[in-house]
Amino acid sequence: MIEATNQRQSSSQTTDESRRKFIKLASAGLAALSFPMGSAFALQGTDKTKKNAKIVWVVLRGALDSLHTVIPTFDSNYSKLRPSLVNSFKAPLLPLDNGFALHPSLKNLHQWYQKKTMLPIVAVSSGYPKRSHFDGQDFLESGMNEIDHDSGWLARAINVKNTRALAVSHSTPISLRSSSEVHTWYPSKLQSADEEVLQSLQQLYQHDQPLREHLDKAIEVKALVNGEGGKKKKRQGKFIELSKACATLMTEDASLDCAMLEIGGWDTHNNQGSRLTRKLSELDTGLAELKAGLGEAWQDTVVIIGTEFGRTVKENGTGGTDHGTASALFLAGGAVNGGKVAGQWPGLKEQELFRQRDLMPTSNSFAWIGSVLSQHWQFTDKEVAEVFPHMNPYKVSVIKG
């Protein structure tokens, strides 16, 4: 009888322990609506005065038309090849050096350029030889000679630096695969349901101090991202919201040196003029929110903005452009040695184009990013080779000394 009682007690204790573990995991899952690791990552005590060299990788999915973004006003072939698009700008172009100009929607980036903290790089390519968006993006994120869906260049970089990264994404993008120190966050679309679950769990946990504290911290993370009281503010554009959240979460942990953001909508086969006006404005405003949210950390930050490939030099019959080759890469942030247009301009004459249709690549995106790793994160040539085994960094000063 005693043995049977002990067995029942043991069984009851095991069941109770399993229940507690389940509830704890459920609570952690709820925290993942705001931050995947729960409160320990976002709210732990850190030395916020410590200076960390940060990198934010922004992928423009869909192939940005760099010729509509960094405009070569000095090249007479431009208006001949783009008679409609050249007249689609709704405001004066923003002047850069050597006859280049920036799209009028990029007001913040232009201000940073004037302050020498933004560096546009023209005619770059990852080396991807075809025109498939999906493969092109995978190639860009993998950073290898051939696509490796299980290893991304940014993951390899944080492994070398022995740091952690945040992916503002539903799941881990290729850029950050192969590292165990990557955490994902993305806002839930079920805001009202979240609130009901929170209230129910608060009642359930009211007499369980450890679980109640865990839940309270999860709610605190939610409030950090969404604003006071955890109430979602009026939508301003998805990328803008995600940039704000990214800055908030990065500043809450001084040991978080890296993050990745992405923004789609750049596949402008038609109506490119108005579409890029909207998208570039969203990008520009989102980056400004990232800067504001990072505060003093912006001075030690480099934002790398890239896309899978460029678009055709000649406009098509529907006011757009088609899949091309070379595009542009942008470096921005307080640590950037900017204020000039980098890269070699290939020209727009027919014989100067790639396959007589695309902007000719004159430098490689990975070599430029390698320069950032070398100068900003102080990687040795051997360490850069662990990230980009087929590419050497350019010996060009892209980071302030």
Q: How far apart are CA 233 and CA 261, in angstroms?
A: 20
Where do we find the tokens 């940005």? 64
How much is the pLDDT for 221?
A: 54
How much is the pLDDT for 210?
A: 72
How much is the pLDDT for 187?
A: 85
Q: Say how far residue 397 (Cα) sits from the centre of its chain.
A: 23
Q: Token pair of 84, please?
A: 């409609």
How much is the pLDDT for 22?
A: 35
Residues 316, 106, 354, 392, Cα dihedral to 10°: -150
Q: Say how far residue 307 (Cα) sits from the centre of its chain.
A: 11
pLDDT tens readout for residues 5-60: 344 344 444 445 544 443 343 333 333 333 333 323 333 333 333 358 999 999 99
Residues in the chain, pLDDT under 50: 1-15, 18-50, 190, 192-193, 228-236
Q: Token pair of 339, please?
A: 């204020």
Q: Concatenate the DSSP letters of all residues of 279-348 into one string.
A: HHHHHHHHHHHHHHHHGGGGGGEEEEEEES--BBSS--TTS---B-S-EEEEEESTTB--SS-BS-----
How much is the pLDDT for 52?
A: 86
263 - beta bridge partners?
A: 60
Are the CB atoms for 239 and 52 separated by under 8 Å? no
Closest CA to 30 of 194, 235, 227: 194
The residue type found at 239 is F
Q: DSSP 3-state assignment of 399?
A: strand
How much is the pLDDT for 204?
A: 64
Q: Please state, as a whole number, how many other Cβ atoms lie within 10 Å of the Cβ of residue 336.
A: 25
Q: Please state, as a whole number, how many other Cβ atoms lie within 10 Å of the Cβ of residue 159.
A: 18
Crossing angle, helix 153-161 and helix 365-376, to 10 degrees? 20
DSSP state of 260: E
φ/ψ of residue 345, rounded to 5: -80, 125
Q: How far apart are CA 270 and CA 369, in angstroms?
A: 31
DSSP state of 358: B
Its sign, for the CA torsion 355, 358, 359, 361, is negative
How much is the pLDDT for 254?
A: 79
| Burial classification of residue 351, based on how many CB atoms lie within 10 Å of its CB (0-12 exposed, 13-18 middle, 19 or more buried) | exposed
Are the CB atoms for 271 and 84 separated by under 8 Å? no
Q: Please state, as a whole number, how many other Cβ atoms lie within 10 Å of the Cβ of residue 52.
A: 16
Q: Which domains, and CATH codes, for the chain?
A: 53-189+236-387 (3.40.720)
Cite the DSSP H helix spans in 101-173: 107-114, 133-142, 153-161
Where do we find the tokens 């595009």? 327
How much is the pLDDT for 189?
A: 64
